[in-house]
């Protein structure tokens, strides 16, 4: 047996946008064990819930993450509405669905760019981020913010989208769809990309299930879990199928994300057709008394917000389980047995978002 050495990976590393630390135990060039460490960007946002009113905490819940921001606020608000027994207007449900799919699109495009860049595929990086700019422009025009939308509130949404603007958005997405098709074709069918991704970092179906993988990491291994199918917001009235791949390798996880972008565009189009007229918010009085476990599908997987209130303006407990946090045990399994040079690529295929994982 050769001598084991430990190599630190992160918290500062060219491929990592956020600080995740992995101690890689190597035998020659092979990774035999991985010890992950988080805790570099902990902000104590869950504790803050005791100091802020539950209506204002929406803005803090949204700032848990800088990429999947909208869905965090949506999940939190849904939890509060369930405790208080509020039936929010249908138009608000549809608007939430549209914006959450927009944020999924922009997150996946951001990931595609970062991932291509980590392998030195600069032109895909530039093109993915150019397309993402269209998405961000639409988000800014409709909500007022590019990545932090701040548009969810308890009892509905704060802004409405005019029907003309909605048509314009759908037309814009149609235009992007062709370019996106070209981009993903080039990315997924490129031989050098396939060389670096196929058969590498394989997560078996059983492992994905028992280690609690969520989102594209689970769906890449054939575990068809998509919380959108539970029908929260307006997803119950929309026809869509979760994208599932069965190989479990890096390529499968990339393919899931690439194909999910087209599902998102399709969902937005369906929403634009079905959206009813009516009010977008309702008056809310009182304070939540009770507890609820609210779930939603983020770009990276299932997010859970546990909310507990005692009938006062400040909540008692707020606990968030984010997708990246649950994807760390599968990541450790993925990395065991791979080559050192493949580590950056494998880490990026779970789309780590450490700001989320630490709150």
Partner 1 sequence: MTFFEMTKTVLKSVFSRPATLMYPVKPAKKTKATRGHVKIDPTKCITCRICQRKCPTQAICVEVKEKTWEIDQMRCVVCAICVDTCPTKSLTMDNQYRPAMTARGGLEKFTVAGPKKKEPVVADAAKPATE
Residues in contact with partner 1 by the rule CB under 8 A: 52-53, 56-57, 59-60, 63, 123, 127, 130, 133, 137, 140-145, 148, 150, 158-159, 179, 182-183, 185-186, 189-191
CB of 82 to partner 1, least distance (A): 22
CA distance 4 to 261: 42
Helix (H) or strand (E) holding 205: helix 205-210
Longest dimension (CA), the chain: 71
CB of 218 to partner 1, least distance (A): 28
Nearer to partner 1, 68 or 223 (CB): 68
354 preceded by a cis bond (ω within 30 of 0): no
CB of 52 to partner 1, least distance (A): 6
Rounded to the nearest 10 degrees, what angle do helices 90-118 and 250-274 cross at?
A: 150
User: What stretches of 225-353 show up as alpha helix (H) in DSSP?
Assistant: 250-274, 323-335, 343-349
Q: State the Cα angle at 260 between 323 and 306, rounded to 5°.
A: 25
Nearer to partner 1, 153 or 219 (CB): 153
* Residue 30, SS3 per DSSP: strand
CA distance 169 to 149: 17
DSSP 32-47: EEEEEE--SS---TTG
Helix (H) or strand (E) holding 24: strand 21-27
Nearer to partner 1, 191 or 239 (CB): 191
CB of 236 to partner 1, least distance (A): 29
Q: How many CB atoms lie within 10 A of CB 182?
A: 11
CB of 60 to partner 1, least distance (A): 6
Q: Point out which residues pair with 308 in neighbouring strands.
A: 291, 317
Nearer to partner 1, 130 or 198 (CB): 130
Nearer to partner 1, 121 or 325 (CB): 121
CA distance 307 to 80: 7
CB of 225 to partner 1, least distance (A): 31
Nearer to partner 1, 127 or 217 (CB): 127
Q: Please name the residues in contact with 50: beta carbons below 8 A apart, sequence gap of 6 or more.
A: 314, 315, 316
Nearer to partner 1, 3 or 189 (CB): 189
Nearer to partner 1, 54 or 111 (CB): 54
CB 305 within 8 A of CB 318: yes
CB of 262 to partner 1, least distance (A): 18
CB of 56 to partner 1, least distance (A): 4
């Amino acid at each position: 047996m050769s001598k084991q050495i430990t190599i630190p990976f992160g918290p500062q590393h060219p491929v990592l946008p956020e600080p995740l630390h992995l101690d890689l135990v190597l035998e020659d060039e092979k990774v035999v064990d991985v010890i992950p460490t988080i805790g570099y960007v902990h902000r104590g946002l869950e504790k803050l819930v005791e100091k802020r009113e539950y209506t204002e905490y929406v803005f803090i819940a949204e700032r848990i993450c800088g990429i999947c921001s909208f869905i965090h606020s949506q999940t939190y608000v849904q939890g509060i509405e369930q405790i208080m027994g509020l039936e929010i207007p249908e138009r608000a449900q549809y608007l939430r669905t549209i914006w959450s799919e927009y944020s999924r699109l922009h997150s996946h495009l951001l990931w595609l760019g970062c991932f291509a860049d980590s392998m030195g595929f600069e032109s895909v990086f530039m093109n993915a981020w150019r397309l993402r700019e269209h998405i961000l422009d639409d988000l800014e025009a409709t909500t007022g913010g590019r990545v932090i939308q701040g548009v969810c509130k308890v009892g509905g949404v704060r802004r409405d989208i005019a029907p003309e603007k909605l048509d314009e958005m759908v037309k814009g997405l149609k235009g992007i769809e062709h370019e996106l098709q070209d981009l993903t074709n080039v990315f997924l069918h490129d031989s050098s990309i396939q060389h670096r991704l196929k058969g590498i970092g394989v997560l078996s179906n059983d492992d994905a299930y028992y280690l609690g993988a969520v989102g594209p990491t689970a769906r890449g291994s054939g575990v068809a879990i998509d919380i959108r199918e539970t029908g929260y917001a307006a997803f119950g009235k929309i026809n869509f199928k979760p994208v599932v791949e069965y190989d479990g390798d890096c390529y499968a996880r990339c393919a899931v994300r690439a194909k999910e972008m087209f599902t998102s565009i399709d969902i937005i189009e369906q929403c634009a057709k079905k959206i009813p007229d009516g009010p977008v918010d309702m008056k809310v009085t009182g304070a939540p008394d009770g507890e609820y476990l609210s779930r939603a599908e983020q770009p990276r997987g299932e997010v859970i917000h546990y909310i507990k209130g005692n009938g006062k303006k400040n909540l008692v407990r707020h606990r968030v389980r984010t997708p990246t946090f649950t994807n760390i045990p599968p990541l450790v399994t993925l990395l065991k047995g791979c080559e050192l040079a493949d580590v950056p690529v494998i880490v990026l295929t779970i789309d780590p978002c450490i700001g989320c994982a630490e709150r």
